[in-house]
Amino acid sequence: MPNLQTKDDTRLRYKELGEGRPVILIHGWPLSGDSWDPIMMKLAENGYRAIAYDRRGFGRSDHAKAGYDYDTFADDLADVMAATGATENVALVGFSMGGGEIARYMSRHGGKGVTQAVLVSSVVPFMLKTDDNPEGVPQSTFDEMAEGMKDDFRAFFTGFFKDFYGDDVSDEERHWAWQTTMQANQYATLQSADAFATTDFRPDLPHFTVPTLVVHGTKDVTVPIDATGRAVADQVESASIIEYEGEPHAVFATQTERLGDDILEFLRKG
């Protein structure tokens, strides 16, 4: 697989399929770009150039000693776009914490080159429960997650993926997710969890000036829809939402065909 260097000399592993308009896919926590493989193949078969990369600290990218914050993640995305030449008429697709890269790229880099965005089970605009974000997740939940990862990193994720996937995937799919997570840097995993839990993307929302598709499962207990997907649909004029009734967080695995079809339909409008 090819690699690229970010501005701070972190090596990111990436891959691509197909030719045509570029679609960059950003994976969720704590997985890798490989989670997008079925969607990448579908995009390539339908005339798109699909590009996916492993976030710093995850998959086969460098375990950088720093940079696990959304300003850096957005800068990494900009470096991926530059290195791959995907700089015009680009569609960005972000799953879970990957939606945060898109939001921060749109504000920090002015959305340069981006003409469509897709937020899948995304953490945008704000995960943490506060007085002005009552539908969010309590800080105590994130504290418990951090303690679980510190106490027994490997055991924690065996339990985590039960809610992440729900009941409608194979044991092998969960095993793949667990194995992929074990490739990640534990420090990066903890720091990134803190980043997606506490970063407030509400100031970034006005920068979503391109057509934006929101896809979210109504039974997502990992990233609750009311605080995230529905909030984006309510607050971003250019956004539309498709709710997957009864679906958990990992719709890329539980509704692969439907998700691919919905993304393709949206892209064809661009």
Known catalytic residues? Answer: 96, 220, 249
Element at 23 (helix H, strand E): strand 21-26
120 touches 215 (CB < 8 A): yes
Tokens of residue 14, six digits: 């990436």
> What are the helix (H) ranges across 85-214?
98-108, 139-151, 153-165, 171-183, 186-198
Nearest to residue 30, comparing CAs of 202, 153, 147?
A: 153
